[in-house]
């Protein structure tokens, strides 16, 4: 009998970060040890565990038997604490504006489901985190990339945004700090972005601030805190700055300064009710993270920063590599300057994997056009592991000339 067909929209989905794991797993099955610098999961690397007070709160919730469904929009205590946290970032967020989801990723699916129709567009940074490209097409919408400037710290190219805006753009995305480049947008840049969106009445902004606790510049600013006109969906959660990505807890917080999101909010609430709720004990773990002292973050950030600095140093010494210094998150988007690799970063990644057993992600997986000739490296591994990886990358580049 012939195979049952897959829906075309599913067959089109690509997720480069996990796709490259398949050949790496095959090598591991043959007994090779792989240095994996591909995935932005702090728990996959030693030395950055989920803080114990959060784990304990999760466990205590389980021990109390809190294993039932939670309210669809999230536990009231957590919504209230998230709203307080957002108010601390400079905007008037109420608990009713906060909707707890299974991570930012589910929040994205819900926002897109509630706002996109056939013929509409999402304007997202190029390069970008892959779901911003993968999901909108499920609704007949299209993601258009606006340019981040590879030669200028991957800063937003506003002229490119302006040229690409039109009445079909429903959502303008800012990922800040950015994955995969690590760029942090300044408040002036955020104001410029808002003033562009302002000209298009049906345009809303997604501010993906999941890395805001990993800002090394001290300048990261909430987009909602700057917008007096354009509706903003602020996205954040427990995955990155709180080091618990496997808990699958995140949120969207709606900033609606001109009160135009009534119908969209109703759609979002219907969708949230239809998917029941997020994990109850995991919400209690996140609540502890928000309520208790965050002093522990300094030590974690210092570790990540020292690893970033080692990578920057090593890259500056290796012929064939260049990088813009990241201001936040835990990624760098490294440029391949050898002409052989500049046009085929995927082959670079696969050949490096097979020859030297180092796994990174090809830049074109984050944008076919704007990521080409780069690879993304996660600098969460310890310095000695990173150093070994750079020895191997250097050796590989020299041998492949
Ligand atoms: C920009 C960005 N947003 C969202 C996520 C995923 O967030 P969550 O784990 O809350 O779904 C990631 C994960 O890498 C990311 O890089």
pLDDT in tens, 283-309: 999 999 999 999 999 999 999 999 999
Between helix 52-63 and helix 280-291 the angle, nearest 10°, is 140
C-alpha 319 to ligand 1 mean position (Å)? 32
Confirm or reject: Cβ of 239 under 6 Å from ligand 1: yes
pLDDT tens digits, 108-155 = 999 999 999 999 999 999 999 999 999 999 999 999 999 999 999 999
Q: Which domains does the chain have, with CATH numbers?
A: 8-49+296-399 (3.90.1150.10), 52-291 (3.40.640.10)
Q: Answer yes or no: are the C-beta atoms of 279 and 245 closer than 8 Å.
A: no
C-alpha 243 to ligand 1 mean position (Å)? 12
Query: What's the distance, CA 45 to chain centroid?
Result: 18
Q: Which of 226, 248, 129 is nearest to 177 (CA)?
A: 129
Pairwise CA distance, residues 54 & 46, whole Å = 18
Which residues share a beta bridge with 374?
335
Confirm or reject: Cβ of 234 under 6 Å from ligand 1: no
Give me the pLDDT at residue 8, please.
87
Q: Answer yes or no: are the C-beta atoms of 207 and 93 closer than 8 Å.
A: no
Instruction: Name 272's Cβ contacts closer than 8 Å, sequence gap at least 6.
Output: 72, 73, 99, 101, 110
Confirm or reject: Cβ of 210 under 6 Å from ligand 1: yes
C-alpha 242 to ligand 1 mean position (Å)? 12
Confirm or reject: Cβ of 174 under 6 Å from ligand 1: no
pLDDT tens digits, 325-381 = 999 999 999 999 999 999 999 999 999 999 999 999 999 999 999 999 999 999 999
Q: In what order do the strands lie in the sheet with 98-101?
A: 98-101, 250-255, 232-237, 204-208, 169-175, 121-126, 142-149, 155-156
Q: Which of 64, 85, 359, 42 is nearest to 222 (CA)?
A: 85
pLDDT tens digits, 191-228 = 999 999 999 999 999 999 999 999 999 999 999 999 99
Q: Report the atom number in ligand 1 closest to the C-alpha of 237.
A: 10
Confirm or reject: Cβ of 40 under 6 Å from ligand 1: yes
Q: Answer yes or no: are the C-beta atoms of 227 and 194 closer than 8 Å.
A: yes
Confirm or reject: Cβ of 250 under 6 Å from ligand 1: yes
Residue 1's pLDDT band, with cuts at 50, 70 and 90, is confident
State the average pLDDT over residues 277-281: 97
In this prediction the pTM is 0.96
């Amino acid at each position: 009998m012939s195979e049952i067909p897959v829906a075309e929209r599913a067959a089109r989905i690509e997720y480069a970060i996990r796709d490259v794991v398949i050949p790496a797993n095959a090598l591991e099955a043959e007994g090779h040890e792989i240095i994996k610098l591909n995935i932005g999961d702090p728990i996959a690397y030693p030395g950055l565990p989920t803080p114990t007070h959060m784990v304990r709160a999760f466990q205590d919730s389980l021990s109390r038997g809190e294993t039932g469904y939670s309210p669809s929009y999230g536990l009231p205590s957590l919504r209230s604490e998230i709203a307080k946290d957002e108010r601390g970032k400079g905007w008037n967020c109420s608990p009713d504006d906060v909707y707890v989801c299974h991570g930012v990723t589910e929040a994205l699916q819900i926002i897109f489901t509630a706002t996109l129709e056939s013929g509409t567009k999402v304007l997202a940074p190029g390069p970008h985190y892959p779901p911003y490209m993968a999901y909108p097409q499920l609704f007949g919408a299209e993601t258009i990339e606006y340019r981040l400037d590879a030669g200028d710290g991957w800063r937003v190219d506003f002229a490119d945004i302006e040229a690409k805006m039109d009445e079909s753009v429903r959502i303008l995305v800012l990922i800040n700090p950015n994955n995969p480049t690590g760029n942090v947008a300044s408040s002036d840049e955020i104001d410029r972005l808002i003033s562009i969106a302002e000209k298009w009445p049906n345009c809303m902004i997604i501010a993906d601030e999941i890395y805001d606790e990993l800002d090394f510049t001290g300048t990261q600013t909430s987009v909602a805190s700057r917008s007096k006109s354009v509706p903003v969906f602020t996205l954040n959660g427990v995955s990155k700055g709180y080091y618990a990505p496997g808990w699958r807890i995140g949120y969207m917080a709606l900033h609606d300064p001109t009160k135009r999101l009534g119908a969209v909010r109703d759609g979002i609430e219907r969708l949230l009710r239809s998917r029941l709720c997020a994990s109850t004990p995991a919400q209690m773990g996140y609540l502890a993270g928000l309520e208790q002292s965050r002093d522990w973050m300094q030590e974690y950030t210092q570790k990540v920063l020292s690893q970033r600095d080692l990578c920057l140093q090593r890259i500056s010494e290796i012929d064939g590599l260049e990088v813009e210094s990241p201001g936040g998150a835990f990624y760098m988007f490294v440029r391949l300057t050898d002409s052989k690799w500049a046009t085929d970063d995927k082959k670079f990644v696969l050949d490096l994997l097979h020859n030297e057993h180092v796994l990174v992600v090809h830049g074109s997986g984050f944008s076919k056009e704007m990521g080409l000739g780069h690879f993304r490296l996660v600098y969460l591994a310890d310095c000695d592991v990173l150093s070994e990886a750079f020895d191997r990358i250097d050796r590989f580049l020299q041998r492949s000339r």
